[in-house]
Amino acid sequence: MRSVSVIGIGETRMGKYPGTLKDMIREAGEKAIRDAGIDKSLLEAIYFGNFNASYWSGQSHMGPLVAETLGLDNLPTIRVEGACATGSLAFRQGLTAVASGLYDVVLVGGAERMTHESTPRITEGLASAADVDLESSVGATFPSLFALAANRYFHEYGNCRDAMAMAAVQNHANAYLNPDAQMHKLITVDIVKNGVPVAYPLTVFDCSLVSDGSAFVVLAASEIADRISGGRIVDVIGSGHAGSSLQISTKNITSFIATTNAAREAYRMAGIKPSDIDLAEVHDCFTITQIINTEDLGFFEKGTGALAVAEGKTARDGLVAINPSGGLKAKGHPIGATGLSQIFEVVTQLRGDAGERQVKNARIGMNHNLGGSAATCVINIFKRRD
């Protein structure tokens, strides 16, 4: 398979978007195409991630909607969905298509509009990503499912509630420096611990946000990337995709096998090890999720992920910068766009364009995106050209 590069990126600000789903798509899509510096006519296909506009906005079939909105009417399009991993799944489909030689240049995007909905409708829409027969229908929404993981984790490795809260504190601090982030508010461990309880031990400050947002990237075969684009190229050097059972009753919830397996595939393809990663956008739907994932990605020993945050190892100047964007927790979590917004951040960092939140000497970056109770995982690894 051919090598593939990211040649353009674009995203909206996350949070309450002052416009329609189409407006959001137009803004982020046009930014990415402009950033790539290519003529639209080079684009051959669109891979689009949306989680649940059919429920929240009554709109399915968003592939052609995106094409039309961007003036690319007759392109082949597809919408993909894998809960909160939706954006990265779209990316992986586009990546495979270019790597295979099917297309040379494709547009990959994602969007979600959520802030117009009531909390019950948001909760219900999100709960559709769990097993509806066995989990959602008996009231097991995602905060409660991940609260189970947190409690079990405390049972196995000791109560690290304060250290875990530091993940939220750090992500808020990073988001404070990110103009696209939804939250620009510094918080403390006490604020996290004393937040409105959601599902013990998680408070509202352990939970990611309800957001509108859209993000797009332009992918091209590496062999033509230089020739067609403005030259601000970042190469995709690894990709992994794995799954596990939809419902949690039969699986380990303090280590996510989907993350472990996807990471193995991505590291092998890239020919690197965890310690080669300079920065990683890691799925932090809840603080506990980030902690467990950073261990499963091989950054830290099992049971030490929270301590690593408290010790500053995940800070922008730490061992591996985790969520320099602010993460799902503080940058925002517009489901279908989240994975692509992670990639937006990784590429921005590898280009050296992250301003005040720049990770120094960032050479290799990763995005890690999870769906449901870790039932879907997609990981991509990116490298700047030296």
| Maximum Cα interatomic distance, the chain, rounded to a whole number of Å | 57
Residue 269: CB minimum distance to a copy of itself, A: 10
* SS3 per residue for 8-38: EEEECCCECCCCCHHHHHHHHHHHHHHHHCC
**Closest of 34, 44, 40, 39 to residue 10, by C-alpha:** 34
Please select the residue that binds a copy of itself; options are 128, 141, 144, 188, rule is CB under 8 A: 128
Q: Tell me whether residue 249 or residue 275 sits nearer to a copy of itself (CB atom).
A: 249
Q: Tell me whether residue 365 or residue 371 sits nearer to a copy of itself (CB atom).
A: 371
Structure token digits, residue 25: 């798509």
319 residue type, one letter: L
Interaction of residue 96 with a copy of itself, rule CB under 8 A: yes
Residues 31-90 that bind a copy of itself (CB under 8 A): 45, 51-52, 54-55, 57-61, 63-65, 67-68, 73-83, 89
Residues 345-374 that bind a copy of itself (CB under 8 A): 371-372
Residue 302: CB minimum distance to a copy of itself, A: 19
312 residue type, one letter: G
Q: Specify which residues 369 forms β-bridges with.
A: 378
Distance (Å, whole) CA 286 – CA 289:
5
* SS3 per residue for 43-73: CCCEEEECCCHHHHCCCCCHHHHHHHHCCCC
Residue 235: CB minimum distance to a copy of itself, A: 18
Distance (Å, whole) CA 80 – CA 51:
8
Query: Given the DSSP bridges, would you call strands 234-243 and 279-282 parallel, antiparallel or unpaired?
Result: unpaired
Please select the residue that binds a copy of itself; options are 105, 198, 220, 242, rule is CB under 8 A: 242
Structure token digits, residue 334: 């517009």
Distance (Å, whole) CA 220 – CA 228:
9
Q: Tell me whether residue 22 or residue 385 sits nearer to a copy of itself (CB atom).
A: 22
Interaction of residue 149 with a copy of itself, rule CB under 8 A: no
Q: Tell me whether residue 77 or residue 304 sits nearer to a copy of itself (CB atom).
A: 77
Residue 132: CB minimum distance to a copy of itself, A: 5
One character per residue 202-241, x = contact with a copy of itself (rule: CB under 8 A): ---------------------------------------x
Residue 374: CB minimum distance to a copy of itself, A: 10
Residues tagged active-site: 84, 333
**Closest of 93, 103, 39, 100 to residue 71, by C-alpha:** 39
Interaction of residue 110 with a copy of itself, rule CB under 8 A: no
Size of the site for a copy of itself (CB under 8 A): 63
Distance (Å, whole) CA 1 – CA 13:
35
C-alpha dist (Å) from residue 232 to 104, 280, 347, 385: 17, 20, 10, 9
Residues 168-197 that bind a copy of itself (CB under 8 A): none
- What are the residues binding a copy of itself (CB under 8 A)? 1, 20, 22, 45, 51-52, 54-55, 57-61, 63-65, 67-68, 73-83, 89, 93, 96-97, 99-102, 124-125, 127-133, 136, 241-247, 251, 257-258, 261-262, 371-372, 375-376
